[in-house]
Structures are given as C-alpha cells and as structure tokens.
Amino acid sequence: MIRVIIANLIRFVALVFLQVFLLKNIALYDLSTPFLYILFILLLPFETPNVLLFLLSFILGLTVDMFYDTPGLHAAACSLLALVRIIFISLTVQKEGFDNEPEPTLSIMGFRWFLTYALILTLFHHFFLFNIEVFRFSEIQYTLSRFLLSSIFTVFLMLVSGLIFYKRKERK
C-alpha cells in the first residue's frame, strides 16, 4: 500500500513537472497543445475511492492552474474527468477483475482497452477545457480544431509513455 502511494506521488510530481516546464511550451501552430498531466488520473488504481479520486483530480487541476494562470479551468476539467473515469470503468471492467488487474495501464489492460479508455477520457477533458476557456460560439471552429488536435496529440503521448514503461504480462 505504501509502495502504491509513493509511486503515485512520484507520478503526480513528474507529470506536473513535465507539463509545466516542457509541454506548456509546446504548441503546434497554436492548435495542438498536449496535456499529459491527465495521465495521473487515468493511471490511478481501480480501487481508489471515489471521494479520493475527485480530491486528487481537483488538486491536480489546481496545481496546473497555478502555473497556467487559469483560475479553476483545469480543476473543473479534471473533476469532470474523474466522473467520466468512474462511469467508464464501471461500464467496461468487471468488478471481480479488480483483484487481478490493480491499475488501468497499457501493459495490464491491453492496447485496445487502454486506447479506448485514454481516447474517450481525453476527449471529454479537452472538450470541456477548451469550451470553458473560450466560452464563445463565434470561435467554435477554432475551438473544435484545437480540441481534436490536442486530444490526438495527448493520446499519442500517453501511448508512447505507456510503451516506454511497458511491462510484459506474466503468464500463470
């Protein structure tokens, strides 16, 4: 249990550091900005209590908001992401499978499930984030293109990081 807490604390700090000091400065033609920090929420263990999940998501969003000077945008988007994660996992993962699969990683859940999981949750997060940031119908085309391209870029980075830290499943 302590090992899981320390691993997630290191993951939190590393992803926020990576987001704030590297990925914040990467924007492809001002249309695609990766938000890899949401990977922290996606990789939390299945048995994380919902209250703790919402609290960690909110704290992660506030931490990113402090560096981006966006009061509450990322916190709100991360809270929505936590809700969508709960719904997605309850619909796709069997309850008795939690003992065998402790966390939703690429190596444990498989490529197809993880790609679907990361894509759907990233789309929800980015759609909410970019729409609440602009909050105008006059710029809907620009907002939708930013949302789609940033989602693709973010999921690509998630898959690359998942493959870098890929661990083969042990056969029993």
pLDDT at 62 over 70: yes
Closest CA to 101 of 7, 167, 10, 11: 167
What is the spatial distance between Cα 61 and Cα 41, in angstroms, rounded to a whole number? Answer: 10
DSSP bridge partners of 28: 32
44: left (phi over 0), alpha (psi -120 to 50) or beta: beta
pLDDT of residue 171: 41
pLDDT digits (tens, 9 = 90+) for 126-171: 999 999 988 888 888 988 999 999 999 999 999 999 888 776 654 4
| 86-117: pLDDT as tens digits | 999 989 876 555 555 678 888 888 889 999 99
Average pLDDT, the chain: 88
Under 8 Å between Cβ of 120 and 92: no
- What pLDDT, on the 0 to 100 scale, is given for residue 168? 60
CA distance 92 to 155: 19
